[in-house]
Structure 1
């Protein structure tokens, strides 16, 4: 059974919501116990949380009894321990515990791109404020101080990794990252890591004056509230903004990359969308080098689909808005896309792989069921996936492309680039092409031969 605490309280079993109690205080009591799995919470503390210091021990016992009855069919137990109660671990989980585990695991990674991906997956578990609708701001701060700090740390890390990997979008409409960080810095004006990231994002977006204003505001706030000056890291960013230091500039694109809507995407090598989709991962040889993952978030997936012509631009814009509104669903769609990508790659490099073929076929069949037949302006009819498909739209679209190639004899001409740090796929219909690109892998091989 799953309990969702990072937002409105929800209980879910086998994907279906479960109603445990209509009483707000009973749901709050359960939430407090779930936030401390296996640990006894004293009855006095529970009474303080539920009634702001009032006694009501008898009422507390009644609430516990009702919850026990409601939870028993689902295998969840509330046990008495000393002068308190505890939610016994086993058979249930919370999104709060999952977030904490994922956030800590992401923070331990060294590759900024992979760390960014994992951090965004963790943050997507938040659907709102902790216990939204059950706890007020003061109570939320008492119950979830550790979670709040972990979330802030993850937001700081995400901002820094987006800047490091060039995913701040400085060249796309004035800086999406800056727009995201402004309200965060306004809410947490003393978080110097957030301020430093906002200043850098503003500088990259061409707003040097605003970046300096942010620093000035932060310096005054630190002095007024804490009596301290900005730390060395923030002062360093300030000095670099003042001097227009090139180190603040966006990381340069490698020769095998392009930038679309502020997203770094791999260069086309095959002209076939299904193969290009496989080439959004550069670790097929088993190595997990920094930057191997190009689909670092749902935005990258949707923008890639538009760039390859798999989806129309207006659909991409719509999907990006939906992803912002439904971050958890976007993470699920991205995970499905990556799984499909692996199956597609296995199909193309090994035509005898039946398991991979069946996995691609299932997704392609889902795309066929969702497709609608439309008459275009040129008078010809075409199959199209409707916008109502939602966030899975890029997944189904690329599955259709994969099915088209798998039904084409050219699938047997798919070749992998032999460069040890590449492995990108392309079509070699003439039997004479060796490299994915003459300007990158072939050029590196030629240079190596000369030396």
Structure 2
């Protein structure tokens, strides 16, 4: 059976519509179970969601009645709702749910390396979007509680598709599709940067520059910040008629080193940039594009790019990884685990477990440090090449230890948007948001205005 939750609630069997219930709360209850197939949803949570924290005395009995009606309506189609302890679950029996398919296709597209491979996946994903989750059933607050990241995932998918279209030379299509979307999200800088690029490639330089000024005004007026690094870079390149804006196949704001796509160094310290990604790494369900540590080679190149290791070490690491792919993969997993510990340590000074874990990493890194003269004549500590494939992990741990011992550690902030979570240094003590334009959500803007 097929359930469509993106937009109005609809159910189908063999492409024929199925009428399940005309009662709003029953449809909401069914949707809650469908969003977590195979997992128990406690009755207390169902009551809290259906009555928004203000249930009547008869709520538990009402839920029992709703479940009975839904079971009767679904039974002819082989859909089962089971009772387990004090709750219910939707048996995961291969039913098609558009929310799951949308998420799967979007994340699959983010892993695709070629624009021609990415574009059809995103076309399929975005075609499933008929409107907000349960448009005719749930109010905005319930929708946010049920599956808040969906709108962010859709916007990320639109951005990824626009980038793929630009890479394939479809600038006119990008300009047409993004213009109304940017009007609805005037402070979402990545959308604006992509639209500016499309306008420039279509010979509409003046419109692109006007859009930048409009966006800059909106950011200052509503958020009190100037445009972020990416948007300023696109603006600068348009003013200079930079040929890279006319070259398809590459995002104009990415950093390319030795063929690797790296995140911009915007946190203010290598240890922060190690934690930061394009957007959304801190969220329990990472957004597409969030994970930039795709391979050990990426880790090695990044460590050289931010100055944690020298070029000789980067070349050596790439060679070693080619000879021992299994060990390289293990080191990459270790780096990701350490990243999570470092993020926890930096965002919660009272997390003693995370600090102890980082202290252990730092102490291990200290055993492989050597003091050498740099090209500028200054001495500094470098991880010894004898550390082998674990060298970049030691380099990051050493950098993290330096930050944790630095008074600037007290100025570290995290963007309050749960879909972002970027870390940055704030010596002024007045910023409460990242201002990188990776969030683009109204709730983040509200936080900014009230901070």
Q: Equivalents in 2 of 1:162, 1:138: separation in Å?
A: 34
TM-superposition CA deviations, 1:403-449 (whole Å, max 9, x none) = xxxxxxxxxxxxxxxxxxxxxxxxxxxxxxxxxxxxxxxxxxxxxxx
Runs of 5+ consecutive residues of structure 2 not aligned to the other structure: 250-451
C-alpha contact 1:29 1:50 (8 A) present in aligned 2: yes
Q: Which residue in 2 is equivalent to 1:141?
A: 144
Instruction: Report what 2:155 is aligned to.
Output: 152
Q: 1:245 aligns with which of 242, 261, 278?
A: 242
Match of residue 205 from structure 2? 208
1:74 is aligned, of 72, 77, 93, to 77
Task: Provide structure 1 residue ranges, at least 5 long, that are not aligned to the other structure.
Answer: 170-175, 253-451
Question: 2:174 aligns to what?
Answer: 177
Runs of 4+ more than 6 Å apart: none
Over 3 Å counting, the alpha-carbon distance change for 1:240 and 1:50 in structure 2 is same
Cα offset, 1:48, TM superposition: 2.9
- Return closer, same or farther for 1:41/1:216 CA change in 2, 3 Å cut-off: farther
Determine the structure 1 residue equivalent to 2:28: 28
C-alpha change, 1:43 and 1:220, in structure 2 (3 Å) is: farther
SS of equivalent to 1:66: helix
Correspondence for 2:3:
3
Find the counterpart in structure 2 of residue 109 from structure 1. Answer: 112
Matched-pair contact (CA < 8 Å) for 1:76–1:91: no
Match of 1:125 in 2: 128
Q: Distance in 1 between matches of 2:205 and 2:87?
A: 56
Among 44, 57, 61, the residue aligned to 1:58: 61
Partner deviation per Cα, 1:318-341 (whole Å, 9 max, x = no partner):
xxxxxxxxxxxxxxxxxxxxxxxx
The one-character-per-residue Cα deviations of 1:103-159 (angstroms, maximum 9, x if unpaired) are 111110101111112111111111222212112333222222222222111110001
Q: Secondary structure of the equivalent of 1:27?
A: helix
TM-score (norm 1): 0.51
Q: 2:215 aligns with which of 218, 225, 228?
A: 218
Count of matched residue positions in the alignment of Structure 1 and Structure 2 = 246
State how far apart, in whole Å, the 2-side matches of 1:235 and 1:152 are.
21
Counterpart Cα distance in 2 of 1:222 and 1:160: 23
Q: Distance in 2 between matches of 1:58 and 1:138?
A: 24
**Does the Cα contact within 8 Å between 1:204 and 1:250 map onto a contact in 2?**
no
Residue 190 and residue 40 in structure 1: after superposition, are their counterparts in 2 closer, same or farther (change >3 A)?
A: farther
CA separation in 2, counterparts of 1:164 and 1:91? 36
CA apart distance, 1:38: 1.8
Residues 197 and 245, structure 2, Cα contact 8 Å, conserved in 1: yes
> Offset of 1:68 from its aligned partner?
1.2
How far apart, CA to CA, are the structure 2 residues paired with 1:154 and 1:225? 25
Larger Rg computed on CA atoms: 1
Q: Which digits, 9 at most, give the CA deviation of each residue in 1:268-291, with x for residues without a partner? A: xxxxxxxxxxxxxxxxxxxxxxxx
Q: How has the CA–CA distance of structure 1 residues 128 and 243 changed in structure 2, closer, same or farther, with 3 Å as cutoff?
A: same
Structure 1 residues 237 and 88: CA distance shift in structure 2, 3 A = same
2:232 paired residue number: 235
Contact 2:171/2:202, CA 8 A, preserved across alignment = no
Whether the 8 Å CA contact 1:7–1:129 is kept in 2: the answer is yes
- 184, 193, 197: which is aligned to 1:196? 193
Q: Which residue of 2 aligns with 1:44?
A: 44
Residue in 1 that maps onto 2:13 = 13
The equivalent of 2:354 in structure 1 is none
Root mean square deviation, CA, Å? 2.0
User: Which structure would you say has the larger RCO, counting Cα contacts within 8 Å and 6 or more residues apart?
Assistant: 2
Give distance in 2, aligned partners of 1:235 and 1:82: 56
Aligned-partner Cα distance in 2 for 1:110–1:32 = 34
